[in-house]
């Protein structure tokens, strides 16, 4: 342990009044946070979001350990940041990894337990069940109630409101119906007809017995229609007497690209119940990158374009930025003029990206855009920036060049200024021309300094969702992508976003998450490479 | 470059030519840089509402009513004082525009200077139709006075969300950066690398998880749920940790350690060192980091778009996105006005702080 750690030793400090106070405040605040966390864990557990309850528990326990163990003093400073990162960054990552191995998406949005609970609420009127004759009543609030007569039991009366069901003891069996009962009034003939129509789909009665209108004269007792059978892991439809087995892995048709019928309750005839559930489907999402024709083709093209787009963006912005920096480096240009040009040239960088892209999009508009008009003024046909895939890509690269060069111009200016001028003088003495000086001296020196930023810029553009989305939402559309929406200018992240949140086919969070994982692995690899590249960075700071 | 060499170069006509060339290139570059801005300003000032702008400074048509036909009556007027015409169905006017006769139907944005319009009004020959003095700002007026699109509300939302996020991010990350910079503890390096790696996960696509989490949190802590500024701030803060810890650590590292070491030997606690010694030294940097976080948060729109459903809770970028996605060409002038106002805060910040920002950037680059 270094000298630094030794000074953390609490014995060195006397426990003065302010220390005691601080200690008290620390524990008090910790206790408040803990109490709140316990409440959250409890309510999340009750809600059935166990994963979130566990995350909060982990964060809380971690925070407590860090704050109570003297040896972990340095981590106390980091604890707030770590807690936030675990909750808002790490947990979503873990969740995304989990989702990538499931069929989570439209049609499969709920857990199996939730689906069973919802399906269990479905009822039907069984044939041969208890049948009553009914008469409709209504109260002042407009709620309906049914007066029921059990013909088989000697005209015994029952009264069913929207929340209750009880036998009527006050009126003798077979006696005339009362005009008013428990605040509900007997309706006249005309109103009763209207009311009957309105009450047709209502379920009367309490928790134990449910009554519904079955016909013009008959009301019947509802029964639960779909019953889950745990031993068979299936749902029995009691109306049709058909057994729906829980299918985790069904109908994998790779040739037609039909969606897998995983996470469905399905019977022997191949019919499914309307609500599917989230099921683990192993690596199927990842395998579908290769096996599903509708995914593989577009995905390869999108992948290549992502790489090409990022690479071209980095090279073009770096080249233009360096070019401007080199020109501005010339000391013979008056200082004030240089300052002016620098200010003007960084403007594109200072404008919110979304706004810039939108403005450019307007300028490139084929019919009305100013650039198209200028081109037309020269007697040429303006390029179809939003229809032709190639031109759309050109448009995006042009916009990204405009957006990105100021950054490299600034960075290169700084790096150029740091190259010692005596090296140039030595080169001049050797008779090197400007090209030799640039190629053998400036560029290598510059790349050492700017290299990591080039890599960072590459990873940034790799996930540059804003420009793609704001330009044309990935369009023009790729025809061969079928019902999976893909566009010619889509990069991986915008494609995944479209799969997850796009309209059309419906959300497929599982597939989108799988693509996200692939993106993450690639970007993380590049970042690690960059970290290696810049390990000198950390070492210099170590010595400060 | 030696003195004599420079003098020789300065006098040479070849190099004078080169200087001219350089300045011409820079001028061309400057035009490339500001052209879209000039154009969007011109579009915002163009009362014609159209994307077609023939000239940089749009001509203001002097419109005079020459003839108003019999059913030229107003059916609906937007503002209660009757000066603003939003929809004037069945209003057909034969007007004189810069000498040419033109038929106008359903004027979208019209100001009437002398006559106050009210429902049932008709026009007389020679009435001035546009208020020349204010019509350059018609798009701005529409932008700020459309209740369906509460632009000012969005602007305020954006500023609140971005400022709170920036302040909290700076406070929390400065503490972490101090620890990473000043303490040497087991797992420090691994933790730093881990933070870096976790940070590159595209949190755009963790949206599903974040969305569901906010939904759950919102059931119990309403002000941190979906559709609230608090929830979005939570997301921004969580996402802003990693990169800023790294950035700040670099700045803390550049403060010599002798300062705090001597204070520690004198019996000061780490908190005292941080608060009384280091913090005042890095304060200018913290301000820059805070402002950059502000701008970053202000500009973000994807997370905001998914998390905020109600129009009243939207941020500026989410609101502007609506102009872009629907009827882009029709609402072009209003969008341009909104874009200008929306870009002003970050533009002003960058231009005012360019020396500091450039300093921070180049320092990082040279250090690399």
pLDDT (tens digit, 9 = 90+) per residue, B344-366?
988 888 888 877 776 665 554 43
Please report the pLDDT score of residue A434 as a whole number: 81
Chain B interface mutation, best of A81, A82, A363, A536, highest count of B Cβ atoms under 10 Å: A81
Q: Is A402 on the interface with B (CB under 8 A)?
A: yes
Q: Are B2 and B9 in contact (CB under 8 A)?
A: no
**Contacting residues for B242 by C-beta, under 8 A, at least 6 apart:** A85, A89, B195, B196, B198, B199
Instruction: Out of 3.40.190.80, 3.40.47.10, 1.10.3720.10, 1.20.140.10, select the CATH number for domain B151-325.
Output: 1.10.3720.10
Domains and CATH numbers, chain A: 17-100 (1.20.58), 112-118+226-282 (no CATH), 123-224 (2.40.430), 293-543 (1.10.3720.10)
CB–CB contact B184 A349 (8 Å): no
Beta-strand pair A210-213/A165-167: unpaired
CB pairs under 8 A between A and B: 315
CB contacts under 8 A, A 441-480 vs B, are: 448-453, 459, 463, 465-466, 469-470
**Contacting residues for B315 by C-beta, under 8 A, at least 6 apart:** B154, B157, B158, B161, B232, B298, B300, B301, B304, B308
- How close is the nearest chain B Cα to the Cα of A78, in Å? 4
pTM > 0.90: yes or no: no
Least confident of A350-364, A498-512, B1-15, B142-156: B1-15
Please tell me the number of Cα atoms within 13 Å of A26 on its side-chain side.
15
**What is the torsional sign of CA A177, A128, A220, A197?**
negative
CB contacts under 8 A, A 342-381 vs B, are: 342-356, 358-363, 365, 368-370, 373
Burial pattern A30-41, b for ≥16 Cβ within 10 A else e, equals: eeeeeeebeebb
Give residue B126's region: left, alpha or beta (phi > 0; psi -120 to 50): left
Q: Which residues of B touch A349 (CB under 8 A)?
A: 350
* Other beta carbons less than 10 A from residue B9's beta carbon: 15
CB contacts under 8 A, B 333-352 vs A, are: 335-336, 339, 342-343, 346-347, 349-351
Torsion angle in degrees (nearest 10) through CA of A37, A42, A46, A48: 50
CB–CB contact B368 A451 (8 Å): yes
pLDDT, greater one: A481 or A183: A183
Overall average pLDDT of the B137-157 stretch? 85
Overall average pLDDT of the B288-313 stretch? 88
Q: Is B106 on the interface with A (CB under 8 A)?
A: no
Instruction: Report residue A237 as tokens.
Output: 């439809």
CB–CB contact A411 B180 (8 Å): no
Q: Which residue of B has its CA nearest to A428?
A: B1
DSSP assignment letter at B52: -
Cα A89 → chain centroid = 12
Tell whether the model's pLDDT for residue B67 goes beyond 50.
no
Identity of the residue in A4, A448, A512 whose CB atom sits nearest the CB atom of B205? A512
User: Apex CA A380: angle with CA A374 and CA A385, to 5°?
Assistant: 70
Q: Which residue of A has its CA nearest to B214?
A: A88
* Largest separation between any pair of C-alpha atoms in chain A: 124
Q: Which residue of A has its CA nearest to B232?
A: A88
Residue with tokens 């780490």: B270
d(CA A110, CA B230): 27
d(CA B362, CA A418): 9
The H-or-E segment that residue A377 falls in is helix A370-377
pLDDT, greater one: B89 or A191: A191
Instruction: Report residue B268 as tokens.
Output: 């000061």
CB–CB contact B366 A449 (8 Å): yes
Domain spans, chain B: 3-45, 63-131, 151-325
Least confident of A11-20, A115-124, B115-124, B178-187: B115-124
Least confident of A75-84, B133-142, B171-180: B133-142
Q: Are B289 and A342 in contact (CB under 8 A)?
A: no
Rounded to the nearest 5 percent, the helix, strand and coil shares of chain B are 65, 5, 30
Q: Which range has highest mean pLDDT (A122-131, A192-201, A446-455, B150-159)?
A: B150-159
Confidence of residue B42 (pLDDT cuts 50, 70, 90): confident
Q: What is the pLDDT of residues B72-107, one digit of tens each?
A: 444 443 333 333 443 333 344 555 555 555 555 444
Q: Is A247 helix (H, G, I), strand (E, B) or coil?
A: strand
Question: How many residues can be counted in chain B?
Answer: 368
- How close is the nearest chain A Cα to the Cα of B125, in Å? 34
Overall average pLDDT of the A255-261 stretch? 56
Query: Across all residues in chain A, what is the average pLDDT?
Result: 81
Peptide linkage before A395 cis (omega within 30 of 0): no
Q: What is the pLDDT of residues B250-276, one digit of tens each?
A: 888 888 888 888 888 888 888 888 888
CB–CB contact B184 A5 (8 Å): yes
Overall average pLDDT of the B196-204 stretch? 78
Beta bridge partners of A234: A229, A245
Q: Is B181 on the interface with A (CB under 8 A)?
A: yes
Identity of the residue in A84, A421, A528 whose CB atom sits nearest the CB atom of B237? A84
What single string gives the DSSP state of each residue in B80-93? TTS-EESB-TT-EE
CB–CB contact B29 A341 (8 Å): yes
The H-or-E segment that residue B105 falls in is strand B100-105
- How close is the nearest chain A Cα to the Cα of B174, in Å? 9
Instruction: Report residue A234 as tokens.
Output: 């299936």
**Contacting residues for A12 by C-beta, under 8 A, at least 6 apart:** B267
Please report the pLDDT score of residue B84 as a whole number: 40
Instruction: Report residue A427 as tokens.
Output: 């080169």
Instruction: Report residue B143 as tokens.
Output: 């932008």
Q: Is A424 on the interface with B (CB under 8 A)?
A: yes
Q: Are B26 and B121 in contact (CB under 8 A)?
A: no
């Amino acid at each position: 342990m270094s000298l630094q750690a030794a000074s953390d030793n609490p014995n060195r400090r006397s426990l003065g009044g302010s220390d005691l106070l601080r200690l008290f405040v620390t524990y008090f605040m910790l206790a408040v946070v803990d109490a709140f966390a316990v409440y959250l864990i409890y309510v999340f557990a009750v809600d059935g979001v166990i994963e979130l309850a566990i995350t909060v528990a982990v964060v809380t326990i971690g925070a407590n350990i860090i704050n109570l163990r003297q040896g972990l003093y340095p981590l106390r400073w980091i604890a707030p940041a770590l807690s936030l990162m675990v909750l808002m960054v790490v947990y979503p990552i873990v969740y995304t990894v989990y989702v990538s191995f499931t069929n989570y998406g439209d049609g499969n949005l709920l857990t199996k337990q939730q689906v069973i609970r919802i399906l269990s609420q479905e009822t039907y009127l069984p044939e041969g069940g208890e049948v009553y004759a009914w008469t409709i009543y209504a109260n002042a609030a407009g709620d309906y109630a049914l007066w029921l007569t059990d013909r088989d039991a000697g005209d015994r009366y029952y009264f069913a409101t929207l929340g209750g069901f009880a036998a009527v003891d006050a009126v003798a069996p077979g006696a005339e119906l009362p005009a008013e009962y428990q605040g509900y009034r007997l309706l006249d003939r005309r109103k009763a007809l209207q009311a009957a129509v309105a009450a047709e789909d209502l379920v009367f009665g309490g928790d134990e017995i449910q009554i519904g209108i079955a016909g013009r004269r008959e009301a019947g007792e509802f029964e639960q229609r779909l019953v889950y059978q745990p031993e068979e892991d299936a749902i029995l439809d009691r109306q049709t007497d058909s057994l729906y087995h829980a299918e985790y892995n069904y109908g994998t048709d790779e040739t037609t690209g039909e969606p897998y019928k995983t996470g469905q309750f399905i019977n022997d005839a191949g019919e499914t119940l309307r609500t599917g559930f989230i099921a683990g489907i192993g690596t199927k999402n990842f395998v579908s990158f290769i096996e599903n024709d509708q995914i593989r083709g577009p995905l390869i093209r999108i992948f290549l374009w992502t790489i090409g787009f990022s690479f071209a963006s980095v090279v073009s912005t770096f080249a233009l930025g360096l070019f401007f920096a080199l020109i501005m480096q010339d000391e013979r240009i008056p200082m004030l003029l240089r300052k002016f040009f620098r200010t003007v040239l960084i403007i594109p960088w200072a404008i919110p990206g979304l706004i810039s892209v939108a403005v450019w999009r307007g300028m490139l508009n084929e019919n009305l855009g100013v650039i198209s008009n200028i081109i037309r003024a020269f007697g040429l046909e303006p390029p179809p920036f939003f229809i032709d895939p190639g031109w759309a890509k050109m448009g995006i690269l042009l916009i990204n060049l405009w957006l990105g060069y100021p950054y490299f111009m600034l960075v290169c200016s700084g790096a150029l200024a740091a190259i010692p001028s005596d090296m140039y003088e030595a080169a001049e003495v050797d008779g090197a021309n400007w090209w030799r000086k640039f190629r053998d001296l400036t560029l290598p020196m510059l790349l050492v300094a700017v290299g990591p930023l080039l890599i960072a810029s590459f990873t940034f553009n790799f996930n540059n969702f804003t420009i793609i989305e704001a330009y044309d939402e990935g369009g023009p559309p790729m025809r061969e992508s079928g019902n999976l929406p893909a566009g010619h200018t889509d990069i991986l992240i915008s494609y995944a976003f479209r799969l997850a949140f796009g309209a059309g086919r419906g959300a497929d969070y599982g597939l989108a998450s799988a693509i996200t994982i692939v993106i993450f692995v690639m970007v993380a690899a590049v970042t690690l490479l960059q970290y290696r590249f810049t390990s000198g960075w950390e070492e210099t700071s170590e010595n400060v | 470059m030696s003195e004599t060499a420079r003098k020789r170069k300065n006098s040479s006509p070849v190099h004078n030519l080169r200087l001219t060339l350089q300045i011409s290139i820079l001028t061309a570059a400057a035009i490339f840089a500001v052209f879209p801005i000039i154009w969007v300003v011109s579009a915002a000032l163009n009362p014609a509402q159209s994307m077609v702008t023939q000239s940089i400074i749009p001509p203001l048509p002097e419109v005079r009513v020459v003839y108003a036909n019999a059913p030229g009556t107003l059916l609906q007027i937007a503002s209660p004082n009757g000066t603003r015409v939003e929809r004037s169905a069945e209003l057909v006017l034969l007007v004189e525009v810069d000498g040419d006769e033109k038929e106008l139907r359903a004027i979208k944005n019209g100001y009437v200077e002398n006559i106050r319009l009210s429902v049932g009004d008709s026009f007389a020959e020679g009435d001035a139709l546009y208020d020349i003095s204010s019509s350059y700002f018609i798009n701005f007026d529409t932008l700020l006075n459309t209740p369906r699109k509460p632009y000012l509300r969005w602007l305020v939302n954006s500023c609140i969300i971005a400022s709170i996020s920036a302040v909290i991010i700076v406070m929390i990350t400065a503490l972490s950066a101090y620890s990473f910079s000043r303490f040497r503890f087991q797992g420090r390096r691994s933790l730093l690398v881990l933070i870096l790696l976790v940070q590159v996960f595209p949190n755009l696509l963790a949206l599903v998880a974040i969305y569901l989490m906010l939904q759950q949190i919102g059931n119990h802590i309403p002000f941190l749920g979906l559709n609230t500024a608090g929830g979005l701030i939570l997301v921004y803060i969580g996402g802003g940790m990693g990169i800023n810890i790294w950035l700040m650590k670099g700045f803390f590292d550049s403060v010599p350690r002798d300062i705090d070491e001597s204070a520690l030997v004198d019996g000061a606690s780490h908190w005292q060192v941080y608060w009384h010694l280091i913090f005042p030294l890095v304060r200018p940097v913290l301000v820059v980091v805070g402002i950059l976080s502000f701008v970053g948060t202000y500009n973000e729109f994807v997370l905001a778009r998914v998390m905020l459903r109600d129009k009243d809770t939207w941020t500026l970028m989410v609101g502007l996105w609506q102009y872009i996605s629907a009827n882009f060409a029709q609402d072009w002038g209003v969008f341009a006005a909104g874009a200008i106002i929306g870009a002003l805060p970050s533009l002003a910040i960058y231009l005012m702080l360019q020396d500091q920002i450039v300093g921070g950037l180049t320092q990082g680059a040279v250090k690399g």
